[in-house]
Amino acid sequence: MGDDLLIYGSYGYTGALITETADEAGLEPTLAGRRAEPVERQATDRGLDHRVFSLDHPSVVASHIEEFDAVLNCAGPFSATADPLVTASIESGTDYLDITGEIGAFEATAERDRDAEKAGVTLLPGVGFDVVPTDCLAAYLHTQLPDAERLSLAIDGLGTFSPGTLKSVVEGLSHGGAARIDGAIETVPPAWKVRKIDLGGGASTAVTIPWGDVATAYYTTGIPNVETYATVPKYAASVMKKTGVLTPLLGTAPVQRLLNGAVDAAVSGPTADERARSTTRVWGAVENGAGERAAARLQTPDTYEFTARTATEIARRVLDGAVGAGFQTPAAAFGPEFVLDFDGVEREDVPGIEQ
């Protein structure tokens, strides 16, 4: 295994943070994207090499990434970008990483597990905030209650958003909710379940959302029932339930274009000061058939700062040959304690009591 890393989508908000962190860590990544002007400017500013190519033609994609040992995909939505890069990676023998939080992208990549094993290629999606802390928390709780049958995860403090993140949210509006039920991912209504969860600041209203752990936690732990929640203002839960009938409309091309245009016009991503002031809290609980429970909480730095750190460290480990071939989740590859390797992350056990 060599040390050549390609970052695709390097000039997006999150891609730029990862590029800066990876460069400062000495990885000297090659930068890439479909638009020449921003990638050329970024590469020139940092004194790095670059490539310009779209993902429209498989042979072109494979020819560009075959010289690299690993590619880190930062270009969302990953429903459009993951498959062509995964296919090219398997063909060219290049390890594949991304920062997706999209359930469909995780599942599609997991389906390539056998192909990747045969090719000796690592497939490790979700190397950022989606889903490193929640995946590691799920794995930790599984060690506390190995016969758990149900897993619930919740996220609070998502106060900073980049354009790419919001565009993924916009795309997801048309899909409704999702949960894993008896081992299978099922579509559920928006705000399918509402509950009170204490993420460290007192009980808050939380609703089910289609977070990436609906896919990944099953591969990490084998727990067949997974629900993921986000805290919301109390009034928002009823609004989400009432607007669920609009889900098909939100997926139409005109509405998607309108919403994405609004994101482009109004959102630039959090500033460095905003990131420095931002923290995120994560909660998780497991339960077995006898009603026994275990629960724990994590506190992490800002989601984008955390993503830059974890993506860089995981890329370094993959380049060092520390991860096996085939589909991996972060906690399956590095263990439940991996998240604690990063400054600003704290974990505490809490009573596993239903709120």
pLDDT in tens, 252-301: 455 435 444 544 544 456 777 776 677 899 999 999 999 999 999 999 99
List of residues 6+ apart from 216 with CB closer than 8 A: 106, 126, 131, 135, 329
> 43-47, 108-112, 141-145, 303-307 — which is least confidently predicted?
303-307
Return residue ranges of the chain for CATH 3.40.50.720: 5-129+305-335
Contact (CB, 8 A) for 155 and 282? yes
Evaluate the omega torsion of the peptide bond into residue 131 and state whether it is cis, within 30 degrees of 0.
Answer: yes
Return residue ranges of the chain for CATH 3.30.360: 132-302+339-350
Pick from 67, 254, 45, 341: which is nearest to 53 by CA? 67
What is the architecture, at CATH level 2, of domain 132-302+339-350? 2-Layer Sandwich (3.30)
188 half-sphere exposure, CB direction, 13 A CA radius? 24
**What does the block give as tokens for 7?**
């970052």
100 half-sphere exposure, CB direction, 13 A CA radius? 33
What is the architecture, at CATH level 2, of domain 5-129+305-335? 3-Layer(aba) Sandwich (3.40)
Mean pLDDT value of segment 222-237: 83
SS3 content of the chain, % helix, strand, coil (to 5): 45, 25, 30
In this predicted model, what pLDDT tens digit does every residue of 96-144 receive, in sequence order?
A: 999 999 999 999 999 999 999 999 999 999 999 989 999 999 999 999 9
